[in-house]
Amino acid sequence: MEQHIIYLDNNATTPMHEDVIEAVHEAHILYGNASSMHGLGRASAQAIEQSRQAIASLIDCSAKEVVFTSGASEANNTVFSIIREQIDLGSKRNRIITTTIEHPSIIETVKYLKSRGYKIDECPVDSTGRVDLATFKRLLGEDVALVSVMTGNNEIGTIQPIEEITELSHAVGALVHTDATQAIGKIEVSMRKMGVDYLSLSGHKFYGPKGIGVLAVKTKAPFTPLVHGGHQEGGRRAGTYNTASIVGIGVAAKLAKADLQAEHDRLWSLREMLRKGIEERIPNVVVNGNQQHCLPGTLDVSFPHAEGESILLYLDMEGIMVSTGSACASGSLEPSYVLLASGVDIELAHGSIRFSFGRYNTADDVAYVLEKLPPIIKRLREMSTR
């Protein structure tokens, strides 16, 4: 009998929606280079512009502010490279502020830039992973070029007060970037309301294709391309258009917008069902992250005296796919840097599991996890020497 798969790793990536698969498949007839002036080229360009409109409508910005990239990692790297250029050109604003719990595509960029002598402050977060605005205010100053804070965290789901952060940052003249990759399709993401200058997102986190993303850039914000070459994207990102994936992310954006409120409520109720069920059935558990400001589908739980990786593997044997920490950081047995930065005890950080819900999960999935998880934790705790 084929094993039933319960996929609870939607923050790592989502499957493509069937409408996206169909649209991507059909878009392969659009093989003309979108930069070509003939009919086939124009057909591709038109499909790309429709997708650009759909993205702009989803994140509440103007279509000309949308730059297609290969994903959120590239979008994030582009922002830091723009600011690096500004600093290299002698701007008196030569400091960047970010946080300790950003995605590795920012954490590693920060490490690299620091090693090259750039001044970067990583604002600490509170025990729930939220930026403390009083601490943040103390870090701000007239020398700050960029503030980069993610909208919602991929591991613990904590949502940051981006509007307040933008207001404070703009008051001292700093530009603001938010990595909204995990928030898209789960909570309202409005570039206009948040007031940010740059925003990153990625197709594969909201049922679109992998390898396609967006950097949205306010018209007046500085820009230097990361990828130099042809004149695509108004000279902001070179390279022949990935037409099929761009069509796919556009369809995903339309679906995300249409279903936003319903998906938000459904994901939150599944997440709460699992949280309550775990708390009722398993003693001594700690729920990580901010319970008030939290992405609806994310539940991160620590199980003291049980190793995260062991829990993951036992769940995997039951067909339940989860994650410890972020997928990008796993592959090592290091505890989650996000939890450590939130002041979580190292042992608790080692025993954490992230359940992340998506469009295709149901209450039956929660019931199945609640049947399989308690005996696994019990067994692992019995095996533990502590």
Of the residues 209, 213, 296, 335, which one makes contact with ligand PMP according to CB under 6 A? 213
Query: Which residue among 61, 123, 294, 328 is the active-site one?
Result: 328
> 182 vs 310, which CB is nearer to ligand PMP?
182
What residues numbered 165-194 form the site for ligand PMP, per CB under 6 A? 179, 181-182
Kindly list the strands in the beta sheet with 144-148, ordered across the sheet, starting from the edge strand earlier in the chain: 66-69, 213-217, 198-202, 175-179, 144-148, 95-99, 119-123
150 binds ligand PMP (CB under 6 A): yes
Question: What is the rounded distance in angstroms from the CA atom of residue 182 to the CA atom of residue 10?
Answer: 10
Of the residues 44, 154, 242, 342, which one makes contact with ligand PMP according to CB under 6 A? 154
Strand ranges in the chain using DSSP code E only, listed in sequence order? 6-7, 66-69, 95-99, 119-123, 144-148, 175-179, 198-202, 213-217, 286-288, 298-302, 320-321, 352-356
Which pair of tokens denotes residue 107?
């954490």
> 150 vs 349, which CB is nearer to ligand PMP?
150
Interaction pattern, residues 318-357, with ligand PMP; x per rule: CB under 6 A: ----------x-----------------------------
Interaction pattern, residues 233-272, with ligand PMP; x per rule: CB under 6 A: ----------------------------------------
**Least Cβ distance, residue 297 to ligand PMP (angstroms):** 13
> 166 vs 326, which CB is nearer to ligand PMP?
326
Question: What is the rounded distance in angstroms from the CA atom of residue 155 to the CA atom of residue 111?
Answer: 20
Q: Is 61 a catalytic residue?
A: no
73 binds ligand PMP (CB under 6 A): yes
71 binds ligand PMP (CB under 6 A): yes
Residues that contact ligand PMP, how many (by CB under 6 A): 13
**124 Cβ neighbours under 8 A, 6+ residues apart:** 99, 100, 132, 135, 341
98 binds ligand PMP (CB under 6 A): no
**Least Cβ distance, residue 128 to ligand PMP (angstroms):** 17
> 206 vs 314, which CB is nearer to ligand PMP?
206
295 binds ligand PMP (CB under 6 A): no
Of 59, 224, 221, 73, the C-alpha closest to 147 is: 221
> 45 vs 214, which CB is nearer to ligand PMP?
214
Of 273, 335, 261, the C-alpha closest to 304 is: 335
Q: Kindly write down the DSSP assignment for every residue of 309-358, as one continuous string.
A: HHHHHHHHHTTEE-BSS-TTT-SS-PPPHHHHHTT--HHHHHTEEEEE--
Q: Kindly write down the DSSP assignment for every residue of 265-280, as one continuous string.
A: HHHHHHHHHHHHHHHH
**Least Cβ distance, residue 160 to ligand PMP (angstroms):** 11
Question: What is the rounded distance in angstroms from the CA atom of residue 281 to the CA atom of residue 255?
Answer: 36
Of the residues 109, 148, 178, 202, which one makes contact with ligand PMP according to CB under 6 A? 202
**Least Cβ distance, residue 108 to ligand PMP (angstroms):** 11
72 binds ligand PMP (CB under 6 A): yes
Which pair of tokens denotes residue 266?
């459904």
103 binds ligand PMP (CB under 6 A): yes
Contacting range for ligand PMP; rule: CB under 6 A; set: 71-79, 242-250, 329-337, 361-369: 71-79
Question: What is the rounded distance in angstroms from the CA atom of residue 226 to the CA atom of residue 75?
Answer: 9
71-106 in b/e burial notation, b at 16+ Cβ within 10 A? bbbbbbbbbbebbbebbeeeeebebbbbbbbbbbbb
123 binds ligand PMP (CB under 6 A): no
Rule CB under 6 A: which residues touch ligand PMP? 71-73, 103, 105, 150, 154, 179, 181-182, 202, 213, 328
Q: Which amino acids are annotated catalytic?
A: 328
